[in-house]
A and B are shown apart, each in its own frame.
Chain A
């Protein structure tokens, strides 16, 4: 029954794997070191898994534990190879599924894949929390509270022979029944929080996945009084986690789990598609905190270090995303951004003149240009135009045109989404620039080629204080000599629902078509 303390070599091994995880993230500071960083991560994981399997090899009660030899050698338990086989099968099954998914997934589907993976971490945390609740001895979190029964014999013992005998048999007026399992209060809080965060991660990620995969409308779903409902639910969960330390009935942990699933769902449905980079980062952070909470329960340094790393990583990414949209984290979480404008269908906006260009016009202008800056956005990902775009850049470079790519921090549906797509299309990463590094170059640039982006080039963010995107850092494309805007139609506006003055500028040429088709046509026209 008693918990065997983790041997010190195992604690050291967990520490080593924690350090390797730190190195895995450290490697990502540059693409050159990133691949070895990833390998450190894998080694760290292998160390953690092997250490756990060795220190917690499945055992079963020795069927011959009564035999003299077994007693003599202390063989009350024997290795349970059946259970070990099951564990190995579980790893092989999960690993096989994961590996196949990782091989087959399209790079454009990366945001939903990451959301789906987050949901698995969340669910795993819930399952581990429940397992710890049901079998606390195995996790070493059971307190063996001795149950003390007191019997008041009064003075009766002198006169009543039966009671006197009983009192004598009990050796006094009280009896102690040893070993009633009870989970330590501190572990209850850690476990309760771990389950709650895990469940929120799970259901929130499922919604994020459905929205990102287009299986559910990306537009916000607003429930009346949702702030009150959400706040009430969160307070109820925290209250129940506190109550759990006193009453460890099944219903308490059941209700905590259920409410957490519901709140995860409620928190994400009012958040619109354009805010998904923040949501995905936030859920990334939650999955880390869930792992850390479980690490506290198990006193495992690898889990705590990892949880802290992942938790802060997600939090920093959320912060970067919010800053790049000039929105507060609270306003993103409160949701509702990008909802259909209420006045739609009312008076149509005044029609302003704009110019439409053809692929041939675009090809001619770019061939004559000295420098072209390409600004990709989510629309490029949707139409899978990255390969055609790189072809176009290759042709232009042969013509002696300097080609650069400019990426806004919130372009796409997750942090760094555009960079991965361009890398997939073999665009060298030293041609790809961040907002602050390239924004000053638009003044000298001949052509700004905007493909599938919109809000990130909207000058309203700089000038119009009433605009919902006011204050968001944007590309100064209006300084470029010519702006080419690849867009499916004039009707659609960006996710913010704001009209874009760039459409109507004198130097702007609208290229209305599917992004991929337009770029392919330009490549053809360039060949002539």
Chain B
């Protein structure tokens, strides 16, 4: 992809983000933060690429280990973020109808 197509995706996604987030009910702002936190761990994609690369020389070896470290950190976030969001959302209940 060339720079301009990437930039287009970015700019359009910012607008989508703007409208989607304004529609989030204030009662769910804490779960919103937890889930955005979980999805921002998509940075794990970069970490996996680094960890999977065949290390060329010393720099490549270091790069691989940095990648593995980043995989661990991002995984904490992915699993922790989604699990804690699910836990919170499970608590939001409507009035019991009798």
Contact = CB atoms under 8 A, between A and B. Distances in A.
Given A124-B73, A124-B77, A31 B14 contact: no
> Which of B54, B56, B60, B74: most chain A Cβ within 10 A?
B74
Contacts of B56: 135, 137
Contacts of B17: 22, 25, 308-313
Given A90-B68, A186-B3, A428-B94, A303 B33 contact: no
A371 interface: no
A31 B91 CA distance: 10
Nearest to A277: B29
A114 B78 CA distance: 12
B31 A58 contact: no
Given A124-B41, A124-B70, A131-B67, A31 B28 contact: yes
A98 B75 contact: yes
Contact of A95 (B32, B76, B92, B94): B76
Main secondary structure of the interface of A (DSSP, over half): helix
B82 to A, nearest CB: 5
A414 interface: yes
Interface string B70-93: 111111111111111111111111
A291 B40 contact: yes
Interface in A383-434: 407, 409, 414-417, 419-420, 423-424, 426, 428-432, 434
Interface in A10-35: 11, 14, 17-18, 21-22, 24-26, 28-32, 34-35
A59 interface: yes
Interface string B30-60: 1111111111111111111111111110011
B24 A287 contact: no
Contact of A117 (B28, B30, B77): B77
26 contacts: A14-B45, A21-B42, A28-B31, A31-B92, A35-B89, A38-B89, A44-B39, A58-B54, A59-B54, A90-B75, A92-B75, A98-B80, A120-B76, A121-B40, A128-B66, A131-B47, A135-B64, A139-B53, A290-B43, A300-B45, A301-B1, A308-B16, A313-B21, A314-B36, A316-B21, A430-B95
8 nearest A-B residue pairs (beta carbon) = A94-B75, A98-B80, A416-B29, A138-B53, A312-B17, A415-B29, A308-B13, A131-B50
Interface of B: 1, 3, 6, 9-10, 13-14, 16-18, 20-56, 59-60, 62-64, 66-96
